[in-house]
C-alpha cells in the first residue's frame, strides 16, 4: 500500500493514502510505522505529510511509533499490531502510565 501511495496516477495514490489511514485506524498503525521506518527519510517525511493531510492524529501517532526503537528494530513485524502487548507497553511507557 505504501508503494501505491507513490503511484503516478493521482487517484490511485490518494486512494492508497486513504487506505493506509483506515488501516491505521483499525489497529495497523504500528505495522505502517514499521514499514515507513525502513524508507528513506525524505520519502518517510513525504508519506507522513500526506497522511497528515487526511488525518492529523493518525499521522502523528504513526510518527511517534516510528521513534520507538524497540518496535522498529523487530526483524519480523508480521505479528505487530496496535493491540499487541509490545505496542501497548511501548505507548504506556511513553505516556507515563508506568
Q: Which of 89, 76, 74, 83 is nearest to 29 (CA)?
A: 83
Residue span of the structural domain in which 29 resides: 4-94
Cα(51)–Cα(59) distance, rounded to whole angstroms?
6
Q: How many domains does the chain have?
A: 1
At residue 3 the predicted structure's pLDDT band, cuts being 50, 70 and 90, is: very high
The values of phi and psi at residue 35, to 5°, are -70, -40
Residue found by looking up cell 519480523 in the block: 76
pLDDT, residue 95, reads 56
At residue 29 the predicted structure's pLDDT band, cuts being 50, 70 and 90, is: very high
DSSP assigned state of 26: I
pLDDT, residue 98, reads 42
Residue found by looking up cell 501505491 in the block: 4
| 30-78 per-position pLDDT tens digit | 999 999 999 999 999 999 999 999 999 999 999 999 999 999 998 888 8
Residue 88 vs residue 17, higher pLDDT: 17
Amino acid at each position: 500500500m505504501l508503494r501505491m501511495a507513490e503511484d503516478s496516477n493521482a487517484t490511485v495514490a490518494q486512494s492508497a493514502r486513504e487506505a493506509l489511514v483506515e488501516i491505521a485506524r483499525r489497529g495497523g498503525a504500528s505495522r505502517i510505522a514499521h514499514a515507513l521506518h525502513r524508507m528513506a527519510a525524505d520519502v518517510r517525511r513525504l508519506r507522513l505529510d500526506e497522511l497528515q493531510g487526511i488525518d492529523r492524529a493518525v499521522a502523528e501517532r504513526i510518527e511517534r511509533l516510528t521513534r520507538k526503537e524497540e518496535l522498529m528494530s523487530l526483524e519480523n513485524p508480521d505479528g505487530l499490531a496496535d493491540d499487541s502487548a509490545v505496542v501497548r507497553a511501548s505507548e504506556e511507557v511513553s505516556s507515563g502510565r508506568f
